[in-house]
Structure 1
């Protein structure tokens, strides 16, 4: 998330009025599906659609739980690329036959609409509802990478889920912006406030060498969790981490503290 470098060129008046669109262009950086071909290690996921409260049909991807497996994780990708890249990154979470639903956002991967904080939260609500329809009676977990951690934490604060995990997630969006731009940010994403409202177990994963979101952000989130979060430090890791390294550990954490919904 290389956010808001253009802020220094905005005058104070523009920052309060005309720069919101330009700032959002820096916050949200979707890439067309045609520009991001991926190869899956196993079977490709099925296409799936979630419809938001404001009527947008969003395209995502779905691997159903294996027979006898009663778990499903909703994966929220970061501020860049699209749901196809998100699916490739989320595929290792299928380990052990778990179901995986890859969410997508308005304005990403050919989806209608324009991204904003309110919009992405509405999208997350739609995907959580879709997860419950696709896998009724299953235990629902939430995983968010970077910006996606904001959706995962806020949905866990609003709804009963079995557990949450984040990777490389910031404490507040404002912390990622130059000081001159913070007062003019059109979107806030306060993950510290969200995690204080989460009652489920939270796994915070963060690379010690993350140059995009400082490791201190994970430490702040851990402190704010009131003892419900476990922070896992990945020595030498950056902002992107192959989930093949972590999937078994994530599921072990969740299942050790799993609660029925």
Structure 2
């Protein structure tokens, strides 16, 4: 599989997967470690085994994000790609994309092992949207819905805005992430969250991606004052409330009846 070989240059990979500050809000001391692939890390956070489950591709670990989702009744597999190591030439887009089917199978096995029975959603932030859309377009029957934050539209404008020099961008969109074509195929209920001040993916490009979505049920939320990385912070509690309402609606969950059932169990 060499579809993504044009993205596997040092210049692009070092920009997409830069070194991270492991002391910043990480989850390395909590959750359940799940081995999916040598190029990424994954931790499972769950509470009620019947709650919906997010398969989330995030640029960096966030214990706060995971714990707040849990408090809102959503379990999460938090997947982050390891920083790019030029000496080893890893990770690469090609290797990760070609491994997504195996990653999904391992997620399903882990759900079964931990007796998680909730519906599975694919969720992503920024560059993670490329992996989320690849999965959802190829395995739609495995997911109940899609939630995208600061998602990538056209590949080259995103990489240019991220700082990749034009000399390293001599390829077409068909040789890039091709997110527009992928999202056209996805009929699953889809939610978009985007910052009004995003300079990596302009709001107009986010709207273009939303307009191309093949979903009959879709929502687009533009968060005032937020940039590419601060959507959740700018929206505050409303961010999680909006996601929760969307997930409950897609799953057909009546929260009043659910609370009543749990009360009776106790």
TM tier, smaller = 0.7 to 0.9
Q: 152, 165, 168: which is aligned to 2:132? A: 152
Q: 228, 231, 245: which is aligned to 1:252? A: 245
After TM superposition, give the deviation of residue 89 of structure 1 in Å: 3.7
- 2:232 is matched with 242
8 Å CA contact retained: 2:12, 2:159: no
Gaps of 5+ in 1: 1-16
Deviations 1:61-85 (A, max 9, x none): 1112414x2321011013xxx4xx2
DSSP-derived class of the 2:80 partner: coil
Distance across 2 between alignment mates of 1:130 and 1:251: 25
More deviation in 215-224 or 130-139? 130-139
TM-score w.r.t. length of structure 1: 0.74
Deviations 1:151-209 (A, max 9, x none): 11221111120111111112121222446653247961111111111121010110111
Q: 207, 213, 218: which is aligned to 1:219? A: 207
Q: 1:40 to 1:120 in 2, by over 3 A?
A: closer
Deviations 1:28-57 (A, max 9, x none): 23325xx4214479x921222114xxxx47
1:1-261 matches, cutoff 5 A: 21-31=9-19, 35-39=21-25, 44-51=30-37, 56=38, 58-67=40-49, 69-78=50-59, 82=60, 85-105=61-81, 107=83, 114-136=90-112, 137-159=117-139, 160=141, 161-178=143-160, 181-184=168-171, 188-228=176-216, 229-240=218-229, 241-242=231-232, 245=237, 246-258=239-251
Gaps of 5+ in 2: 161-165, 253-266
Deviations 1:95-119 (A, max 9, x none): 333211011335569xx86123222
After TM superposition, give the deviation of residue 87 of structure 1 in Å: 4.5
Q: 1:225 to 1:65 in 2, by over 3 A?
A: same
DSSP-derived class of the 1:138 partner: coil
Paired residues in the alignment total: 229
Q: 1:250 to 1:18 in 2, by over 3 A?
A: closer
Q: 1:198 to 1:18 in 2, by over 3 A?
A: closer
TM-score w.r.t. length of structure 2: 0.73
8 Å CA contact retained: 1:87, 1:102: no
8 Å CA contact retained: 2:133, 2:179: yes
More deviation in 56-65 or 233-242? 56-65
Distance across 2 between alignment mates of 1:38 and 1:92: 17
- Higher percent of residues as helix: 2
